[in-house]
Amino acid sequence: MSKTLRVGMIGYRFMGKAHSNAWRQAPRFFDLKANVEMHTICGRDPKGVEAARAQLGWINASTDWKAVLANPEIDIVDINTPNESHAEIAIAAAKAGKHVLCEKPLALNVAQCKEMLDAVKKAKVVHMVCHNYRRIPAIALAKKMIEEGALGEIYHYRARYAQDWIVDPEFPLVWRLQKGVSGSGTHGDIQAHIIDLGRYLVGEFKEVCGMLHTFIKERPLVDDSGKGQGLGGKGGKKMGKVTVDDASLMIGRFANGALANLEATRFALGRKNHITLEINGSKGSLYFDFEDMNRLKYFDNAAPQDRQGFTDILVTQGGGVHPFVGNWWPPGHIIGYEHTFVHTIADFVNAVVDGKSVQPTFEDGMKNERVLEAVEESAKTRQWVKV
């Protein structure tokens, strides 16, 4: 393995930490087709980005993302910035001939997604959206079982993503609560994940009907200290308008006839990062709960009646039995949230060497955005909308 891929990462806070850990760990636990060098981390605050560089293991720090893209040594650009800048950075990266990994949602709207997809296709660079939950071993196993026909004809997809971090009305008006920066609120931030999982596991959406709601209309502006930019913190005395949704509900139909029922909220007290999904088919059902992410529950309708019930599958068996986990620990030794990013990076690095994009691609990101926009249109018009 002589080839070395040098990475420039734009953004260094929550997702920057998760991605940095993944860039460090992937070459140590996976048989990658190239070496990885964590070349440059980039952010707007000089002190903050230098501290992140030292803590997270990067060689260089920069406050100018355009300079990172212009550096001929950089092969890969990893985008972890607020959503408003995804399109500009990704398009520029593609024009500079860099392979692009971008956090979700891909962009603020479908038009931006199309520009990004056109740019990476024209440049013939490898592109991927970081929907890390696709690479939970239990989710990957669910995909395999569905493709093998274990569930038969799919009837239902039900999913819920619940958090509680903005229930306090004193929580500040961070960028995730501003439409101009984020595109949407709970809808694009976390409902995007369960929409993507529905597309991954069941198929493309045909039509949707949605409702968006904002419980707290005004919040304190972020104070001058800059604290409160993430998922915690306090605001100042001045107030600002919340311009995104706090909760998003949708029902829909998939192209294959299955029905969808999805809920996302940041107002579910006691729920920190709660994701559940259930898929019902003609032959059986699958159930997943992210708070117990190493397990997948499976109901097989063909089992003898005297022993029917949900089977509890511990998805930790290596040797190719369960996806990804053979690279980690002996059977029964569970893995966690951070490993989903390592799996993503490992697949992306190998895709770059192969010169072929790996799911979910920018095209997936655009299809996801089409569903998000259709739900927003439905919420406005109070009517069903075709995707």
Q: What DSSP line would sit under 304-333, residue for residue?
A: -GGG-SEEEEE---TTTTSTTGGGSSSTT-
- Provide the terminal-to-terminal Cα distance of the chain, rounded to the nearest Å: 44
Closest CA to 100 of 86, 111, 112: 86
Rounded to 5 degrees, φ, ψ at 309 are: 155, 170
pLDDT at 94: 98
Sheet (strand 385-386) strand order: 310-314, 295-300, 284-289, 274-281, 154-162, 259-265, 247-254, 205-213, 385-386
- Single-letter residue type at 25: Q
Averaged pLDDT for residues 317-323: 94
Averaged pLDDT for residues 239-250: 95
- In this structure, which CATH number among 3.40.50.1980, 3.30.460.10, 3.30.360.10, 3.30.390.50 belongs to the domain 137-292+294-335+368-381? 3.30.360.10
Task: Identify the band that residue 34 occupies on the pLDDT scale cut at 50, 70 and 90.
Answer: very high
pLDDT at 245: 94
Long-range interactions of 40-43: CB distance < 8 A, separation 24+: 40/7, 40/8, 40/9, 40/68, 40/71, 40/74, 41/8, 41/9, 41/12, 41/16, 42/8, 42/9, 42/10, 42/11, 42/12, 42/68, 43/10, 43/11, 43/12, 43/13, 43/16
pLDDT at 227: 44
Task: Identify the band that residue 184 occupies on the pLDDT scale cut at 50, 70 and 90.
Answer: confident
The pLDDT of residue 4 is above 80? yes
Contact 257, 282 (CB under 8 A): no
pLDDT at 231: 58
Give the SS3 label for residue 97: coil
Backbone conformation region of residue 196, classed left if phi is above 0, alpha if psi is from -120 to 50, else beta: alpha
Question: What pLDDT, in 10s, does the model give residues 64-86?
Answer: 999 999 999 999 999 999 999 99
Q: What pTM was estimated for this model as a whole?
A: 0.94
pLDDT at 228: 43
Residue 124 tokens, joined: 């013939």
Rounded-to-integer distance, Cα 325 and Cα 315, Å: 8
Rounded-to-integer distance, Cα 285 and Cα 147, Å: 13
How many of the other CB atoms lie within 10 Å of CB of 228?
19
Task: Identify the band that residue 179 occupies on the pLDDT scale cut at 50, 70 and 90.
Answer: confident
Task: Identify the band that residue 180 occupies on the pLDDT scale cut at 50, 70 and 90.
Answer: confident
The pLDDT of residue 344 is above 50? yes
Residue 187 tokens, joined: 């809808």
Helices 46-56 and 14-29: crossing angle in degrees, nearest 10, is 30
Closest CA to 212 of 378, 369, 84: 378
Task: Identify the band that residue 181 occupies on the pLDDT scale cut at 50, 70 and 90.
Answer: confident
What Cα–Cα distance (Å) separates residue 158 from each residue in 153, 209, 275, 364, 367? 15, 14, 11, 20, 19
pLDDT at 322: 97
Question: What pLDDT, in 10s, does the model give residues 264-283?
Answer: 999 999 999 999 999 999 99
* Pick from 111-120, 191-200, 227-236, 310-319: least confident: 227-236
Task: Identify the band that residue 183 occupies on the pLDDT scale cut at 50, 70 and 90.
Answer: confident
Examine residue 72 and say whether the peptide bond preceding it is cis (omega within 30 degrees of 0): no
- Single-letter residue type at 160: R
Averaged pLDDT for residues 8-14: 96
Examine residue 220 and say whether the peptide bond preceding it is cis (omega within 30 degrees of 0): no
Question: What pLDDT, in 10s, does the model give residues 127-149?
Answer: 999 999 999 999 999 999 999 99
Q: What percent of the chain has pLDDT over 70?
A: 97
Rounded-to-integer distance, Cα 92 and Cα 69, Å: 7
Question: What pLDDT, in 10s, does the model give residues 212-230?
Answer: 999 999 999 987 544 445 5
Closest CA to 124 of 344, 347, 345, 352: 352
Domain ranges in the chain are: 4-133, 137-292+294-335+368-381
Averaged pLDDT for residues 169-195: 91
- In this structure, which CATH number among 3.40.50.720, 1.10.10.10, 3.40.50.970, 3.40.47.10 belongs to the domain 4-133? 3.40.50.720
The pLDDT of residue 381 is above 80? yes
Q: Average pLDDT over the chain, rounded to whole?
A: 95
